[in-house]
Chain A
Amino acid sequence: MSPGVLRVAQPFLNIGRFTILMSSAFMSLRELKTYRQNTLIQMVRIGIESIPIVALAAAFSGAVTTVQTAYQLVSPLIPPKIIGAVVVPSLTMELAAVVTGFILSGRVGARIAAELGTMRVTEQIDALEAMGLNSIGYLIVPRVLAGILMVPVLYVAACVIGVFGGLAAAELTGVVSSAEFILGAREHFDTFGPYFGLIKSFVFGFLITAVSCHIGYFTEGGADGVGRSTTRAAVMSCVLILVADLILAVLLL
């Protein structure tokens, strides 16, 4: 194939390769017992170790949304409790999931791509295969599983912490009392919000880990290639989160 044709075909070749990689990963789920310990390790690395940064981002998102909503709704005709009714759904339906996703793209996506990329270029993946291990099952399955299990957990944490961030901002700036904030949030609470957010976070968890695994696993060309894979994983994860966010909104709302 000529270079021009190759460049046009590349995204499709990548999608094909991604599909094959994921089906191999799915097939090796049968040997899940072998990968159990690795999955637990990855759940700690992807989930538990991300809690501080996700909590920080969630708290600030909640606080900023509260202040901004108060600013936009300033009018004697609108009761301040509406602020709670606006902030909480914003968090559960959009912000908690997307902010968590973006943070994990950088923190988890880049790390996965760097780890697997280094293992590829230093022949560690070859060494695993040469021993008779299924490198996809051993390396990719635990990371993707950890992603789809732990990102929803982080999402829930982000929602709770985001609401507290909002409450704190409300109290500190005096735009609305916590009691009114909570009252407004409860009056207009819709259980669909958290469900929608959970579905999103589940999809984001899959996308970030699966795409970063794919990019890392197929790294080419030395330390330079690892660097390229790392950036690409972070950027691709962010882009896919945006796209998936829109698609899910269109499909489910």
Chain B
Amino acid sequence: MIRVENVYKSFAGRPVLQDVSLKIREGSTQAIIGRSGSGKSVLMKHIIGLLRPDRGRILVNHTDISKISYNELRKIRRQFGVLFQGGALFDSMDSFENVAFPLRTFTAKTDQEIRQEVQTCLDLVQLSNVGSKSTSALSGGMRKRIALARAIALRPHYIIYDEPTSGLDPETSNTINELIKNLSHHLEITSIVVTHDMHSVLQIADHVAFIHDTRMHWTGTTEELHQSTDTVLRSFVKANEYVIEAHHSPNSP
């Protein structure tokens, strides 16, 4: 279980997160939503200890990750797979090597085994034959899917997805959403999905947390989200529905 407790974070005196708390249950899929610049990525980076809170704590399985040594933190991080917003593919390696990298670094697998594992991951993200492509030759959506393949290569216990579907066409978005759903249900992975795509929230999330104006404005289950009368939340969801409709309308460009 992951617990974020009363976290405060400022950059150069400007508060980005204030008194943010969140509890993420094992095996569930938690969505974190909010407007652009509301601090979603900052919150996600706290969860894996890439940023340290000014105040408050982050607990991963009851361990306060800001109190442990760097080497212990690294051990905890190995339970996580992270899909970064821009993919964060290593551009010194081709696509195959990107996915193989965690396997080569953290397992004693043979080349043959690694090749198979990578192929399995690439099949999962439906990119079976782009392995030898240099990462700069990939489209945005492909980059994201390769990054996703890399994030799941070690079969992590937790996966954090930062905007897994942003910038993708609706069909690819659906594929990714299905994939996230499958991973969390079949492999019992705990997922954290940072997004402003309500469509994918409704498709995959069990719980939703809404960050607004530096604070945790609303938390609840996806069903409760539908019934919520909170005006700020409602208007955020409404704005997104419009986007979804625009996406699906037949004569949109």
Q: A124-154: contact bitstring with B at CB < 8 Å (1 yes, 0 no)?
A: 1011011111100000000000000000000
Q: Do residues A134 and B74 form an inter-chain contact, with CB atoms below 8 A? A: yes
Residues of B within 8 A of A119 (CB): 90
Taking a contact as CB atoms closer than 8 A, the residue among A115, A127, A133 that contacts B88 in the complex is A127
At the interface, yes or no: A219 with Cβ under 8 Å from chain B?
no
Q: Do residues A132 and B91 form an inter-chain contact, with CB atoms below 8 A? A: no
Taking a contact as CB atoms closer than 8 A, the residue among B76, B77, B78, B84 that contacts A123 in the complex is B84
Task: Please report whether the interface of chain A is mostly helix, strand, loop or mixed according to DSSP.
Answer: helix
At the interface, yes or no: B167 with Cβ under 8 Å from chain A?
no
Taking a contact as CB atoms closer than 8 A, the residue among A118, A127, A132, A134 that contacts B84 in the complex is A127
Q: Do residues B102 and A131 form an inter-chain contact, with CB atoms below 8 A? A: yes
At the interface, yes or no: A122 with Cβ under 8 Å from chain B?
yes
**C-alpha gap A124/B92 in the complex (Å):** 11
Residues of A within 8 A of B50 (CB): 126, 129-130
Give the residues from 40 to 90 in chain B that come closer than 8 angstroms, CB to CB, to chain A: 45, 48, 50, 70, 74-78, 80, 82, 84-86, 88-90
Residues of A within 8 A of B82 (CB): 127, 130-131
Q: Do residues B88 and A122 form an inter-chain contact, with CB atoms below 8 A? A: yes
Give the residues from 32 to 87 in chain A that come closer than 8 angstroms, CB to CB, to chain B: 34
Pull 30 A–B residue pairs with CB atoms less than 8 Å apart, ordered by A.
A34-B105, A115-B92, A118-B91, A119-B90, A122-B86, A122-B88, A122-B91, A123-B86, A123-B88, A124-B89, A124-B90, A126-B50, A126-B84, A127-B82, A127-B88, A129-B48, A129-B50, A130-B77, A130-B80, A130-B82, A130-B84, A131-B77, A131-B101, A131-B105, A131-B106, A132-B74, A132-B76, A132-B77, A132-B106, A134-B70
Identify the B interface with A (CB < 8 A): 45, 48, 50, 70, 74-78, 80, 82, 84-86, 88-92, 101-102, 105-106
